[in-house]
Structure 1
Amino acid sequence: MSLVDCAAAAHHHLQPPRIKRKLDDYDDADYNPSDLVSVRMRKSDPNAVNSSPNPVPPPHPLSPRLPTARSSASSSSSPPSPPSKSTFISFFVRMLSDCGSIVVHASPNDTVRSVHDQIQSLTGIPVAEQRLLYRGRQLQWEQTLSECSIQRDSGLQLTGRMRSTDHPQAYQLIDEMVFLTCRLCRGEDLKLSSQVKARLMEFLAMTPRTESEQAAGHLEIFMSACAPAALVMLLMSPIEGNKKLAEESIEQFVNSSRSVLPKPIHSQCAPIVLEFCKLLGRAGNDDKLYSLCRSSLASMVEHIGIGNGLRNGSGGNGGSGKAAIAVQELFPFVSELATRLSRDLVLSTEAAASVGPLHGDVRDFTAFLLPIRAAILEQAGYGGPISVPFIEARLNLTPYGEEIKFLHCIFVNLLEKMELCLVKMEEGLSVKEKGESEHPRLGWCQYFAILKELNSISKLYQGAEEQFWAKLRHRKASVRYLITKYAKRSDDHQWILDHKEVTTFESRRHLAMMMLPEVKDEYEEPHEMLIDRSHLLAESFEYISHADPEVLRSGLFLEFKNEEATGPGVLREWFFLVCQAIFNPQNALFVACPNDRRRFFPNPASKVDPLHLEYFRFSGRVIALALMHKIQVGIVFDRVFFLQLAGMNVSLEDIRDADPYLYSSCKQILDMDSETVDQDALGLTFVREVEELGSRNVVELRPNGRSVAVNSNNRKEYVDLLIQHRFVTSIGEQVAHFAQGFTDIICSSRLHKLFFQSLELEDLDWMLYGSESAISVEDWKAHTDYNGFKESDPQILWFWKIVEGMSAEQRKVLLFFWTSVKYLPVEGFGGLASRLHIYKTTESYDRLPSSHTCFYRLCFPPYQSITVMTDRLRFITQEHVGYSFGTW
C-alpha cells in the first residue's frame, strides 16, 4: 500500500478540522472575510433576513467554544417566537465592536433577556457574552422594554460582557485588537494598523513568565476572543496593507511564543499555534507563514510531553494540568510531512538531482512523532513491539488503532524509499572511487536524520526493527558515507553505535571522535608547558594533572627547554614520548602482556608509588588528549583494560593475552572430567595468593572461601571469581582514576563509557597505535611534493633509493624526524594532516638535513653524491638523534 493509499484510508479518523472544513460550514463560493457572520446567520436561521451587511464575526468555528450560559428557565426551551405584528416594535441593535446592526422585533412587555435570546438565535453569540447598552446605561435582564423606554426605531449597543477573569487588562487589549482588525477588514482608516500591533505586543509583554496557570488564563483570552481567526481574516483581506500587517502580527505572536516565553509556558501557547496552523492550511502548505507556524508547533510539542499538556485521544493528559492538544491533532502534520519526504526522496535519486528532503521537513517530522510515539507506548499501554495484524483485527477496540496502523504505513513507505536512495548512493560512490566526476548530491544531506527517525518508529512494531537493520547491513558503504559526512557533533548517535554490524572503522572512529572536544585551528589561550627532556614524565605530570580540564581542552602549547622548535610538530613529539614513558613497565604503572608486548593493562602493584592513583588520572587525561589531537602514540590497551573502561564484564576468553598461564589453568579446570574434580584432585579452595611488595597474602574469593573446596558444581564460579579478583578488583582503583582522567577531557562519565562501547578493541588499536603495516615507500612517494627539486633530479632519485634500502625501524625514525609521526594512521600517508614536502636548501654540502615538523618539511642541500647523502641520512636515522631533532 502506498503512502497516499494509507493516508486516504486513515483520513476519516486522523484528519482534524482545518480551515477548509470551517468554510464548508458556510458557502464555498466567493469567500469574503466580512461575510462570515451573515453566512452563519443564514445557516442557523433562514428567517433572519434583516441582518446588516457587516455583522460581527461570531466565535470562530475551529476555536474552543465557551459553554452557553443560560438561566434555568430558558436553558431547555427553544428561542422565543416573534411577537404578533399588532404589538411588536422594531428597533436596531448595534453589534459588537461597531461591526454592523441587526433589526430586532419585540413586544414592549418583553424582557431584556428575551432580546438577548433573539440575538443569540440570530448571531450565535452566547447570552452570557452579551451586554446591551441604551443611552449609556446597561439594561438588566429582568427589565421590560417598556420600563427601559425603548420605542420603535430605538438604537441599542451590544458589547462584550466582561467575564470574570484574573486578567481584565489582557481581555481588554485583545478585545480591542479584534475590534480593530474588523474595522481594517471593512477598509476603514489604515492608520489603525499600528494600534493592532501595539496591542498585540503589549499583550505578549504581559504574559506571565513563571506561573504556568497564570499564563494559561492569560493566553486563553487570546483564543476565547477569537484573535487567531481575526488575524487570519485580516491576512485574507483584499485590502492593501492588511496582508502584511497580519503576517507581521502572526509572526510576532509565534516567534515570541517560541523564543521569548520560557519552555514551561509552551504548553499553553501550543493550542494557539495549532489554531493558526489549521486556519492557515487554506492558504496552502507551502506558504511561508504556515511553515513557520508548523515548525513552531513541532518545536513546542517536542518538549511538552503527554504529562505536560499534550492530551491523549480520550481527552486526558496523563494527570497533569489542562489538556492542550490531542495526539490525533498532530497526525495530519505527520501525514503531510511524510508525503513530502516520500516525494523528495524519490526526486533525490534522479539523475542530476539538485533537490532532496528539506531540513525543516525532517526536523518537524521528527518533532511531531516524538510525543506520538510516547503516547502510543505509554498511554495506550503497549509494553513491547506491536503486532500490526492484531491491531488491524481489533481496530475499533484498540487505543490509537488507526494511528498505529497509519504510522506503520508511513514506516514501510519511507523505508522502501530510503533503501532505493541508499542503492543509488552506492552507485554514485562507486563512480567517485573510480575517479570519475561524481559529487555528493544535495539531497543526500538529510538521509542520516531520516534513518534515525525510522529506527525510532521501528521499535514500535514487531519485526520492523530487524527489517530496518537488515537493510542497513547490506548498505554499509552508504551508511559509512552518511555518518562521516553528515553526522553532527551535537546529536545523540547511540542508536547506530549500538549496531556495529552496520558500521565500519571509519564511521565508528568518526562518531567516537565527535564525543571528544574539537581541536581548534587557533588557540586563544592555550595551556603552555616548558618541559625538560631529562624530567619528561615528572614535569609533564605537574603541567597536566594540576591544570583545569577546561584549559586543557582549549589547546596546548609546548616547548622543550633549551630548544627553539615550537608548534604542532613539537606537540606530536611530546605526546609520543610521554606515552612511551607512561607505559614503560619500569615506571610500574602498567604491565605489558606476555603474548603481545604492545598491549598494556594497569599494574596491580602500582601502589609502590604513593602518587600512583594521581598518575593514573594523569594518564587518562593524556590518552584522551592524544585521541583528541589525532596523534598515534604507539601503544594499545589489553582487552581486560578496554572492557573495564567500557563498563563491560571480563570473561575467561578476554584474559588470553594478559595472563596466558592463568588462562590455560582455568581452561583445564573447566575442561577436566567432573569425577576427577570431585575427588579433590585439584586441591583448590576459594582463595587466591597475591604477592605484594615482596610478601605473599591469601585473599578469600568468597565468604569463608578457605573452607570451600572447588568441585564440579562450583568450578565455574571459582574461575569467574578468580578472574574478577585478578583483573577487576585488584586494579579497580587504577582503572577508576584513569577513567576519571579521561572523563575530565571528554566532559561526561556517560560519554566516557559510550566512547569505548562504540568501538571495537581493534578500532582503538588503530586510533592509538596506527597502522601495523610496514611503511610503503611507494605510498610515501605518492604523498610527497618538492620545492627547489624536481622529481627527476639525481638527489631525489638517490633519496628514495636510500629509503628503500633502510630497515623498517630506520624508516620510522626518518619519518619521525621529518614529521614527528612514527606510527602512521590506518590510511597510511593519506591519513596525515597534509602532504609531505622536500625542500632544497642553499646550505653547505656538509650540513645535515633539517626539518620543519609542523609543516612536514624535510630540507637538505643538493648533495653531490649518493654516498654523501647516505652518510647524512644514516646519521639522522639513529634513534637518539631522530627522536631529539629539535636540538639541530
Structure 2
Amino acid sequence: MGNCTEMFNKKKNHNQSRICPTCNQNIPGTNDFNQHFAQCQRNRNPIQQHAPNQNNNQGQNQFPNPSLINNNPNQRPSNQPQNTNTHQHHQNRGLRQNFVWTKVYDEKDKTKYTWKQVEVGLIVEQELIKQLSNTDIKNFSFEEKQIWFRYKLEQLRIPWTEGAHWMEIHTDNVLLTSLTAIDLVDLHKEVKISINGDKVQDAGGLLREWIHMITKEIFDKNTGLFSLADSEEITYKINQDADKCDHIMNCFRLFGKVLGKAIFERIPLEAYVDKTLVKQLLGQPVTLDDIYSYDQQLYKSWLYIKNNKLKEDDFIGYMSFSRKTPQGMIEIDLIENGQQVEINEKNKQQYIDLCIQYISYKSVKDFIENIQAGLYSVVPKHLLEIFDANEFEMILNGLPFINVEDWEQNSIYKNGYTKTHHLIQEFWRILRSFDQQKLEKFLHFCTGSSRTSVEGFKKLESNRGNYAKFCIEQVKYDQSNPYPKAHTCFNRLELPLYPTKELLNKYLQIIVNNDLDGIFGMEQTACLNHIKG
C-alpha cells in the first residue's frame, strides 16, 4: 500500500495512469480516473469506513456530553454551573493533535449520542477532494466533506483587497439596527462592525461579538420568533404563533443570513435549534426520531402508537392535530374531514407522518422559507446538502464543552512569557479550576466566541478564513489599569506581569464573574475598567 500511496501522490499529466486509493486499480487518463474514483466512493459503505469502532475504543477518547444533567445524555449547557466532576474527568483526558471531536449517535436509539475523539485520516489528497461534485462528496467522511465545503465557500469569498462593508449597530437595539444594516452589505465580503457610529479597528472580533449578541436577541422569548422546545434540552423551535407581518418575516430572513455568515466565517453558534428545523434547512425529510428534540412527549406518544398494535375497539383519537394557541385549543384536520376519521392500525403510520409534516413544516412554512432564503443567499443550498443533520449541527454549533488541556497545548506566548513561566503555570491552574460556564465566559472575553469548532483549539478562528492560535502576551503591570486586555480579532490576551499569584487570580475571577454581554470593542480599551471596585 505504501508504494500505491507514493504513486498516487506524484503529479501526473492527463495521459498518465493513476492508482485508485480505494481499490488500488491502475486507471489510465485523468478523466477516466476521476469517474472511476467517484464511482468507487459511491460503492463503498461510508459508515463502515469512517464510523468509530463501537467494540474497540483503543485510540479514541469517549465520554458522554460533559453538560449532562440528571442523566440526560443530550442536555445542553444550562445557565447554572456545570458538574465539576464531569468537567474534571473531561479535562484530564489525553489529547492527540490529529484527532477531532465528533458526535456519535447510538445505533439502537438515534435520540442518544456521545462525543468521541476520532482520528483524522484522509483517504485521498486534498486537491482531489476539491475536484469532486457535490453528489460524489456525500460518500466521504465528515473531515473530507469539510475540506470540500470550505474550499467551495472560499471560492465565494470576495477578497479583502476589494474593500470591506460596514454594518452600523447600536447597542440599545441590536436587532432593529441589524435588520437595516444587513441589507446594505454583501455577506461574501469582509464585514466590519461599527458600534454606535464609531468605526473602531475590527479584524473579525467585533463580527463574532455581533453574531453572539444578535442570536441572543433573536432567541429571546420577548422577540417572539422562537420558543424553547418541549424537551429536557435547551433547544429552540420556531414559534408557530409568531405574527406573519413583514417585520417578523424580515426577522426570520435576518436569522437565516446570520446563520449563513456564521457558517461562512466558521463562527460556532451557542444556541441550538431543534432537529426538525435542521432537516428543513438541509432539504431532508423529518423523521419521528427528530421529534425528540422538538417535543419529547409527542415523540413518546407517537413512538408508542407506532410500536403497539391497535385493536379494532381501541380508540386513541381522530386524524386531526390538537394545537394550543393564545386563543385556546384548535383542531387541525390532517386529511379531509379528519375530525370524523378514527385512527386505527391501518392508518396510524399515516397519522404519525402527517402530524410530523404539520408541526415541522406546514404550521411554520412561511417562517422556514424566509430562514432558507436568508441562509441560501450566503451559503448555497447545494453546498449544504452534502451533510447529514448530525454533521450540520457540528458545523453550526461546534463543541459544547471546553477542554483546558487542548487550550493549553495549542497556545503560544509573546514578549517574555513562556509555557514554563511561573505566572503562566498559575494561569492554567486557575483555568482548570473553572467550571464550564466560567470557561465559556473567559473564552468569549478573549476571542468573541464561547465555542470552538470540532477541531478544537488547534484551529481557532481568526478572520478572513484564517486560523490564529490563542496567544498570551506579557505587558507591564500598571496599578492604575491592572486588568487583562483582549484582542478578540487575533485571539490574543494581554496579561499583565502581576507581582503575585493572588492578583492574577483576582483579575481572572473578575472577568468570569461579571456579565460582559454587549460590551463591544475590546481591542480598544481594557473593557473591565467600568467594573472597578
TM-score range, shorter chain: 0.7 to 0.9
- Within the candidate set 352, 357, 361, 2:15 is matched to 361
AA aligned to 2:377 is: D
Cα distance change, pair 487–870 in 1 and its aligned pair in 2 (3 A): same
Which residue matches 2:144? Answer: 507
- Mapped pair 1:831 → 2:482: no
1:849 equivalent among 484, 489, 499: 484
Tell me which amino acid in the other structure corresponds to 1:588: G
Q: Residues 255-279 of structure 1, C-alpha deviation per residue, up to 9 Å, x if partnerless?
A: xxxxxxxxxxxxxxxxxxxxxxxxx
- TM-fit CA distance, 1:741: 0.9
**Larger Cα Rg: Structure 1 or Structure 2?**
1
- Distance 1:527-1:800 versus aligned 2 partners, 3 A rule: same
In the other structure, the counterpart of 2:269 is 633
Residue from 204, 209, 221 that aligns with 1:573: 209
Distance 1:633 1:807 in 2: 20
Tell me if 1:453 matches 2:108: no
SS, match of residue 600 in structure 1: strand
User: Which of 247, 270, 281 is residue 611 of structure 1 equivalent to?
Assistant: 247
Matches within 5 A, 1:108-127: none
- By how many angstroms is 1:883 displaced? 6.0
Q: Which amino acid aligns with 2:322?
A: E
Q: Is the 8 A contact 1:687 1:705 kept in 2?
A: yes
Note if contact 1:616-1:734 (Cα within 8 Å) is conserved in structure 2.
yes
Q: Does 1:526 align with 2:164?
A: yes
Deviations 1:685-715 (A, max 9, x none): 2222323332333221111222222222222
Q: Distance in 2 between matches of 1:349 and 1:639?
A: 40
d(CA) in 2 for partners of 1:617 and 1:693?
A: 24
Cα separation, partners in 2 of 1:755 and 1:794, compared to 1, 3 Å:
same
Higher relative strand content: 2
1:864 matches 2:476: no
2:347 is aligned, of 714, 727, 730, to 714
Is the 8 Å Cα contact of residues 315 and 342 (structure 2) preserved in structure 1? no
Q: CA deviation at 1:420?
A: 3.4
Offset of residue 455 of structure 1: 4.9
Output the CA distance in 2 between the equivalents of 1:552 and 1:777.
35
* Counterparts of 2:514 and 2:159, CA distance in 1: 31
> 2: CA distance between counterparts of 1:479 and 1:876?
39
**1:411-426 alignment to 2 at 5 Å?**
419-420=23-24
Residue 538 of structure 1: which of 165, 169, 176 is its match?
Answer: 176
State the Cα distance separating 1:482 from its structure 2 match.
Answer: 2.9
Matched residue type, 2:175: L
Paired residue type of 2:137: L
Where do residues 134-213 of structure 1 align in structure 2 (5 Å cutoff)? none
Sequence identity of aligned pairs in percent? 20
SS in 2 for 1:679: coil
Within 5 A, what are the aligned runs for 1:237-276?
Answer: none
Say whether residues 1:734 and 2:367 are aligned partners. yes
Residue in 1 that maps onto 2:133? 493
The answer to whether residue 389 in structure 2 is matched with residue 761 in structure 1 is: yes
Question: Deviation per CA, 1:787-843, whole angstroms, max 9, x where unpaired?
Answer: 222333332222222222222221221221112121011121101111222222235
Shift of residue 628 of structure 1? 0.4
Find the aligned partners of 2:357 and 2:226 in 1 and give their Cα distance: 18
2: CA distance, partners of 1:572 / 1:475:
32
In structure 2, the CA distance between the partners of 1:349 and 1:805, relative to structure 1 (3 Å rule), is closer
1:702 maps to which residue? Answer: 335
Pairwise CA distance, 1:521: 5.8
Alignment-mate amino acid for residue 723 of structure 1? I
Instruction: Report the residue type matching 2:15 in the other structure.
Output: D
Superimposed CA distance per residue, residues 76-118 of structure 1 (whole angstroms, 9 cap, x where no aligned partner):
xxxxxxxxxxxxxxxxxxxxxxxxxxxxxxxxxxxxxxxxxxx
Match of 1:775 among 403, 417, 420: 403
Greater relative contact order (Cα 8 A, min sep 6): structure 1 or 2?
2
Query: Partner letter of residue 468 of structure 2?
Result: S
Equivalent residue for 1:556? Answer: 191
Distance 2:237 2:222 in 1: 14
Q: CA deviation at 1:662?
A: 1.2
Q: Tell me the distance in 2 between the aligned counterparts of 1:507 and 1:796.
A: 36
Q: Please state whether the residue corresponding to 1:357 is helix, strand or coil.
A: coil
1:568 is displaced (CA, Å) by 1.0
Does the CA-based 8 Å contact 2:446-2:493 persist in structure 1? yes
> Displacement of 1:673 after TM fit?
3.8
Partners of 1:589 and 1:612 within 8 A in 2: yes
| CA spacing shift, 1:586–1:472, aligned 2, 3 Å | closer
Query: How far apart are the structure 1 equivalents of 2:46 and 2:325?
Result: 54
Residues 661-687 of structure 1: per-residue CA shift (max 9 Å, x gap): 111222233344432xx22532x2222
Candidates 429, 432, 447, aligned match of 1:804: 432
Match of 1:334 in 2: none
> TM-score, normalised on structure 2?
0.74
Distance 1:873 1:634 in 2: 22
* Other-structure match for 1:793: 421
CA drift of 1:356 comes to: 4.0
Report if aligned partners of 1:777, 1:803 keep a CA contact under 8 Å in 2.
no
Task: Identify which of 658, 668, 675 aligns with 2:294.
Answer: 658
Kindly state the Cα deviation for residue 643 of structure 1 after the two structures are TM-superposed.
1.6
Instruction: Report deviation, 1:473.
Output: 6.4
For the Cα contact (< 8 Å) 1:845–1:863, is it kept in 2?
no
2:510 aligned with 1:875: yes
Q: Once the two structures are superposed, what CA deviation does each residue of 1:598-657 show, in whole Å capped at 9, x if it has no partner?
A: 433322112276522211111111101110011112123322112222222222222122
Residue 811 to residue 350, structure 1, CA distance change in 2 (3 Å): closer
Question: Tell me, what secondary structure is at the counterpart of 2:293?
Answer: coil
CA distance in 2, matches of 1:697, 1:626: 38
CA positional deviation for 1:849: 0.9
In 2: Cα distance, 1:778 partner to 1:669 partner: 46
1:509·1:763 contact (CA, 8 Å) conserved in 2?
no
SS of corresponding position for 1:487 = helix
Matched, 1:689 2:322: yes
| CA-CA distance at 1:347 after TM superposition | 8.2
The TM-score with structure 1 as length reference comes to 0.46
The alpha-carbon deviation at position 506 of structure 1 amounts to 1.4
Secondary structure of the residue aligned to 1:800 is helix
Q: Assess, with a 3 A threshold, how the Cα gap between structure 1 residues 806 and 652 changes in structure 2: closer, same or farther.
A: closer
In 1, are the aligned partners of 2:195 and 2:520 still within 8 Å (CA)? no
Q: Hey, what does 2:86 align to over in structure 1?
A: none
CA distance in 2, matches of 1:836, 1:739: 34
Check whether the contact 2:401–2:436 (CA below 8 A) recurs between aligned residues. no
Unaligned ranges ≥5, structure 1: 1-344, 366-413, 423-445, 459-463
* 1:634 partner SS: coil
**Structure whose residues are more often helix by fraction:** 1
- Name the count of aligned residue pairs: 447
